[in-house]
Amino acid sequence: MSYSLPIRVLEALSRKSSINPFQENVANILVSAVDLNKKRRVMYSAECAPPSLQSFEGPWRELACLDLSPTGLFFAQNRSRESIARVWSAYSTYAEVIDPSECKEQGIYPTKEVSRVHFRLLEAYGAFFDHCLHQNRRNPYPPSVRHGFTLKDVARIFNAPMLLQDACDFFLASPRSKVSDLYTALGLHPRTGERRFAAEGIPAMALKRACAISSASRYILWSDLTLAEIAAKCGYTDGAHLHHEFRRSTGGIPPAAYRRAVRVQH
């Protein structure tokens, strides 16, 4: 569940068959944010006939259940309403939002009057949070870096071409490897490799970055390792490099904000 999810849900309600869900997932891991003008445009287009709360449920959960962005991983294991409120507050603080809102025990409330479709989106967020809490609290196992899908799993679920599945497998196993090392492992000339990945619509570098940020996010959320230690484990130059990539993936929210929210659960 990234913060681009409500816009993706609105778009999914009129989804075209040509949209590639694996490509969407990779893009969402890398940048879980939507340009403010696009948010306004998509919401305005639905203002005349806002979708019902029930119509949101299917595509919302479909998109969220395999979301490997930092926020998606957080909600996949979150068990505390207070931690949700803290992450929501961080989102309102760091990310570019249309109108700030508050997450309370009773739901999510805008700080000023908003459009009908905006209010419906906030309702859908609240319903999704309740669903997450119910599901996760039933899980007898504590949150762990080892729980959940990897990008290779998602590639397999969406039946992505073997080229992409093999690339995910390679970068998850060898996070410090370069794209040129992948091409060598696959027996491809660099130019041939570039053409093959371009034909699939996902550059090899994008897969490398998506594998790295998703893996690093698990350690940021559910371990006590420092950013420098996580960076070394997941193939980043240093802690500052990881900090930059994490903020880009969350729309501006720093790793420390997530860690503070997660610690509320323990």
Q: Are 172 and 151 in contact (CB under 8 A)?
A: yes
Question: Which domains does the chain carry?
Answer: 5-137 (no CATH), 159-263 (1.10.10.60)
pLDDT at 172: 97
Q: Are 258 and 199 in contact (CB under 8 A)?
A: no
58's CB contacts (< 8 A; 6+ apart) are none
pLDDT per residue as tens digits for the range 83-109? 999 999 999 898 888 888 889 887 888
pLDDT per residue as tens digits for the range 107-143? 888 888 889 999 998 999 999 999 999 999 999 888 9
**pTM summary value:** 0.91
260's CB contacts (< 8 A; 6+ apart) are 86
